[in-house]
Structure 1
Amino acid sequence: MSNLKNVLPPRIFEVVERAGISTFKQIMILSVWDIKKLTNLRTDDIKFLKNVAADYICPISHTCDKLLIENELRVKTGCVEIDELLMGGFRRGTLTEIYGESGSGKTLMAIQAAAHNSAAGCVFICTEDLFPVKRFAQMKHRFPNVSSKHDYGKNVYIEHITEAQNLLSCVRVSLPKLLEKNKPALIVIDSVAAPFRSEYSNYVQRAEDLRELAISLITLAQKYTLAVVCINQVTASFDGADNVLPTLGLAWSNMVSTRLWLKKTNQSVHISHLPMENREKFRNTEQSVVVRKLSVIFSPDLPNSSLKFIITSTGIQTVN
């Protein structure tokens, strides 16, 4: 009864109390007609009474996008516009694939994300080229109040692996040991395709190994609440308007939560058309820069959208 007294207007509370209605549950269960017989209140007052009771006892509701923000289930990419496209960044607990042709900016995007999350920590597994240390060092100039004394690579753990079985062993054995001692925000594999494209002739075994790799990565992502980003190569496609597809087939695709496509466009932008603060990121102020495109191909919680960007000395810069 005390709760009713604190919530209801005094006039309505006195009528309800005299009628013997003492709980919010009674107000919700009784029909409008039943309450009217007991209290002789007007229909509008009874509807108001039911609304107050419903608001009081109803649990707080949250939409999915608010839950994602509240639980911080995203890892920032280092580019504000890309984070907006991805509703906050790479989703923790899932596997995100970035695929595209050579030179489309796949590795750069991964390096930028690694640099941006260097304070929290990042694991970077290279299967093709060596880790681009100089490119990583350039990324620090994107940080506010950058300091030459700070070691931005201190929490970035790098591993070079060229064979599929070594990669599986790393993910099964070495990586869990590292994650027990450290709490990185991101795992990057660049690229996941290289070890599996070169040494396999038994495609059934390759499919099984890819599935094991993906399950192991997703398990680690969920257990340690981190994001996994895998760079993938492309293969030619002879149907549809798009002439490339990600490699590794359905065995791999079915394990990916979010797929992003990077590609070069036929468009270019002259340096003089960029904002002044962006022109300083190019050595040659007379040059034109190829515009690239990032597209969300599929995702459980993102719309199919895209944005255009260029590559500067300090990373990705979006353009209109």
Structure 2
Amino acid sequence: MDWEQLDVNPKVVAAVKKANIKSATDILTFSGPDLQRMTKLSSPDVHHLQNVVSAVLRKGSGTTALQMCREKGLFPSQHHKLSLGCRVLDKLLRGGIPLVGITELAGESSAGKTQLGLQMCLSVQYPLGYGGLEAGAVYICTEDAFPSKRLQQLINLQHKLRSDVPFDVIKKIRFGDNIFIEHAADIDMLNECITKKVPILLLRGSVRLIVIDSIAALFRCEFAASDSVLRAKHLQTFGAKLHNLSSRFLTPVLCINQVTDTVREVDCIQSNFGQVDKTVSPALGISWSNQLLVRVMVARTQATAPQACAGSVLRTMEVISAPHIPRSVCYYTVHLEGVKGIDENVQS
């Protein structure tokens, strides 16, 4: 610290230097009597010195939780969320997925994971007032070909899904022009995409959402069971790269994941529609779990659909872990126009 910049008497600064006190933190480490003994200063001078140093250090300190709560406008990444395009699903996730961090969407085949990924690629393009981020999305495929026909269906029927948005607003958005598709056949291609291609789009402001479908496909194929330690290192490195992009550009990362069978007792969650059974868990183990901010699981169910959704297959969305959301679950269905959550107050 430059002692000359402190708002104290020059004789105090001279005494501090003479006592060979090197840093401001040392001032706060010593007690008042110790400082008096070392500097030969009076008690009022020492007390004033401690107050001045403390005030200077506080200016460069971290942000408190109370500040972040009261000054929401200064911390958009902590309060804004990206909408899923559905009021019920947004309610479950407290507004949508966070802008900073990795959100995982795990589930078995045909649970609706890709449908939700596509829907969010459209949702991100809406104005801020309607839960979007006014930018496009990068959709990275690691398994199947990109479902372009299904995407076009969703685009054509956005006015039905997003009845909360004026039709004039929807009409102005060129949804198809703002979704960038990448195919990664192996881990090297995936890393190149994340480290070279995606940052360019983020720097241009072209995108504000990264979707990877799916994260498990490549890591399962390229590493044998005996290579668990090496796979864990690759997962940690890859997760760090995603976190860096997310925090630098305030960009949500949605990773779609597969599941594995678990050998344990069935865990049941009670809801108004009945019990939801879980016999699977997300793939890639704890090494990947530690990279996540939010983990959500989706699944098909055998529950009877309420009358309002007759003919549709009921699916569940369950919050497994999140720092801001308790464990909770809701039902949803997949329609031609998109994914819709079901309010549990709906009568059967």
Q: What TM-score, normalized by structure 2, do the two folds share?
A: 0.66
Structure-1 residue corresponding to 2:275: none
- C-alpha distance in structure 1 between counterparts of 2:75 and 2:201, whole Å: 28
Structure-2 residue corresponding to 1:254: 290
Counterpart of 1:211 (choices 236, 239, 249) is 236
Equivalent residues in 2 for 1:182-261, closer than 5 Å: 182-201=205-224, 202-241=227-266, 242-261=278-297
Structure-1 residue corresponding to 2:136: 121
Counterpart of 2:329 (choices 295, 306, 310) is 306
- Following superposition, the deviation at residue 261 of structure 1 comes to 0.6
- Deviation readout 1:252-292 (Å, 9 max, x if unpaired): 0111110001011111326xx21xxxx7xxxxxxx722110
Counterpart of 1:67 (choices 68, 72, 82) is 72
Q: Is the 8 A contact 1:75 1:186 kept in 2?
A: no
- C-alpha distance in structure 2 between counterparts of 1:295 and 1:63, whole Å: 28
The one-letter amino acid of 2:327's match is N
Q: Structure 1 residue 102 and structure 2 residue 109: aligned?
A: yes
Structure-1 residue corresponding to 2:174: 151
- C-alpha distance in structure 2 between counterparts of 1:65 and 1:74, whole Å: 17
- Following superposition, the deviation at residue 151 of structure 1 comes to 3.0
| Distance of aligned partners of 1:63 and 1:266 in 2 relative to their CA distance in 1, 3 Å threshold | farther
Give the 3-state SS of the residue equivalent to 1:255 in structure 2.
Answer: coil
Q: Is the 8 A contact 2:87 2:341 kept in 1?
A: no
Structure-1 residue corresponding to 2:341: 318
- C-alpha distance in structure 2 between counterparts of 1:149 and 1:177, whole Å: 25
The one-letter amino acid of 1:85's match is L
Q: Structure 1 residue 162 and structure 2 residue 185: aligned?
A: yes
- Following superposition, the deviation at residue 178 of structure 1 comes to 2.2
Counterpart of 2:146 (choices 131, 138, 145) is 131
| Distance of aligned partners of 1:150 and 1:172 in 2 relative to their CA distance in 1, 3 Å threshold | closer
Structure-2 residue corresponding to 1:76: 83
Give the 3-state SS of the residue equivalent to 1:178 in structure 2.
Answer: helix
- Deviation readout 1:66-101 (Å, 9 max, x if unpaired): 839972531111111111111111101100000011
In structure 2, the gaps of 5 or more residues are 1-65, 126-133, 160-164, 267-277
- Deviation readout 1:51-76 (Å, 9 max, x if unpaired): xxxxxxxxxx6674983997253111
User: Runs of 4 or more off by more than 6 Å in structure 1?
Assistant: 146-149
Q: Is the 8 A contact 1:268 1:288 kept in 2?
A: no
- Deviation readout 1:215-246 (Å, 9 max, x if unpaired): 10011000000100000000110112121011
Structure with bigger gyration radius: 1
Q: Is the 8 A contact 2:99 2:252 kept in 1?
A: yes
Give the 3-state SS of the residue equivalent to 1:102 in structure 2.
Answer: coil
| Distance of aligned partners of 1:304 and 1:107 in 2 relative to their CA distance in 1, 3 Å threshold | same
The one-letter amino acid of 1:117's match is V
Give the 3-state SS of the residue equivalent to 1:230 in structure 2.
Answer: strand
| Distance of aligned partners of 1:133 and 1:296 in 2 relative to their CA distance in 1, 3 Å threshold | same
- C-alpha distance in structure 2 between counterparts of 1:220 and 1:196, whole Å: 20
The one-letter amino acid of 2:123's match is H
- C-alpha distance in structure 2 between counterparts of 1:194 and 1:268, whole Å: 32
Give the 3-state SS of the residue equivalent to 1:268 in structure 2.
Answer: coil
Structure-2 residue corresponding to 1:87: 94
Aligned pair count reads: 248
Q: What TM-score, normalized by structure 1, do the two folds share?
A: 0.72
| Distance of aligned partners of 1:243 and 1:294 in 2 relative to their CA distance in 1, 3 Å threshold | same
- C-alpha distance in structure 2 between counterparts of 1:96 and 1:67, whole Å: 22
Q: Cα RMSD (Å) of the superposition? A: 2.4
